[in-house]
Amino acid sequence: MNWCSPTMNLYPKFSFHQTYKSPSSKARIGQLVTPHGNVDTPAFIFCGTKATVKGVFPSQLRAAGTQIILSNTYHLMLQPGSHTVKQNGGLQKWTGWNGPMFTDSGGFQIFSLGHGSVAAEVKGQRNTQRPKTLLKIHEDGATFKSYLDGKVHKLTPESSIQVQKDLGADLIVVLDECTPFHVDKTYTASSLHRTHRWGKRSLQAFQDTSDESQALYGIIQGGIYEDLRKIGADFVNDQPFFAHAVGGSLGKNKSQMQDVVSYTMSLLDPSRPVHLLGIGGVEDIFHGVRQGIDTFDCVHPTRIARHGCALVNSDYLQYDSSHRKDHINLRNARFVHDTHPIDDQCPCETCHTLTRGYIHHLLKAHELLAMNALTLHNITFMNRLLNDVRDGIRSETLNTVEQRWVISRA
């Protein structure tokens, strides 16, 4: 296979170093070097969709061990506008994070919202009451209505790159069409080739405006079809992207998703870092790292915190042997008189100072402290998980680590 490695001239301030490769799988430990700091991989990227990880300060993110965060091109181009962010010094200065950052292209939100929800169509769930906002997909890009005020906007490969340049994240992404699960192979193939044309235009716009402060990811689409995924992988391997992102519809269930990820990863240039877009469940992370995935992002940890849920590992079975989920819902009445912390092994401030019963009270009283407390715990949980994953890869004990973190569904 003829892989085209990224040129130092295009990304002189970025690098990816593989520091350890497991002899028993494709799992690896690496370091992603950016102008705003280094990221030890495998790593979890927390979603700060609208330039904030909801409910927490940057200092709290850092104290919890966070290495890198993600912000969303689609939402920020609509509010407050990328020019406003640029005039305020870019995301790094504006948010006070001043660390490695990732932005997506905006395509996922446009196309998934266009089908009536943020993610339901991509994941094969077609029932939704959200109004559809996508007006037209065309060769130039996509025309859509703002979910805020109904104004019509157009996003092209070139404008996506410009918005991301204004935002100033270290790692940015080409514009792609994220096809939903239910579309047929003919449409998926047509979309894939359009995504490649957009990818070349994104790359050209990036090269025309690059000041060496950003690095560009190519995206592999192709739905559930192996031949299309191979075409997608060949395309990104042959272009001078810094890194790759596996995206799009990954299947109707977890088993099919794992098959698609495994097959796609077998085709990619191993010298480049690889990100798995929008997937970050605990079980998914262990499967992904064994396939060579370096970074993950997902709203799950912080979103469920806002709904009263705390992530727990398999040690929770010692407390409740009937539990078979990766989280507990502290709104449930069973926690009213619970005097235990969420996790007595967790170093977060929540677990050091608050009981499950008190958090239950905060949730029932609609106190904002509950959201902050649960978000901090879930962020700490994910960072501890990835630390253990890296240690497990290095010591060849990943199976044992997985047993500690993944709650059996049996």
Our measurement of the distance from residue 232's CA atom to the centroid of its chain's CA atoms, rounded to an integer in Å, reads 20
Q: Is 78 helix (H, G, I), strand (E, B) or coil?
A: helix
CB 393 within 8 A of CB 22: yes
Q: How many CA atoms lie within 13 A of 70 on its CB side?
A: 25
Phi and psi of 351, rounded to 5°?
A: -75, -20
Per the residue annotation, which of 297, 326, 343, 388 is the catalytic one? 297
Cβ–Cβ < 8 Å for 375, 302: yes
In the structure encoding, which two tokens stand for residue 257, read together? 């998703």
Please indicate whether residue 104 is annotated as part of the active site: yes
DSSP 348-363: SHHHHH--HHHHHHHH
- Return the number of other C-beta atoms located less than 10 Å from residue 4's C-beta: 13
Of 10, 9, 81, 1, the residue nearest 241 (C-alpha):
10
Question: 403: number of CA atoms within 13 Å, CB side?
Answer: 3
Interatomic CA distance for residues 316 and 291, integer angstroms:
28
Q: Is 297 an annotated catalytic residue?
A: yes
Q: At what angle do helices 185-209 and 226-238 cross, to 10 degrees?
A: 10
Q: Give the three-class secondary structure for 79.
A: coil
Q: What are the residue numbers of the active site?
A: 104, 297
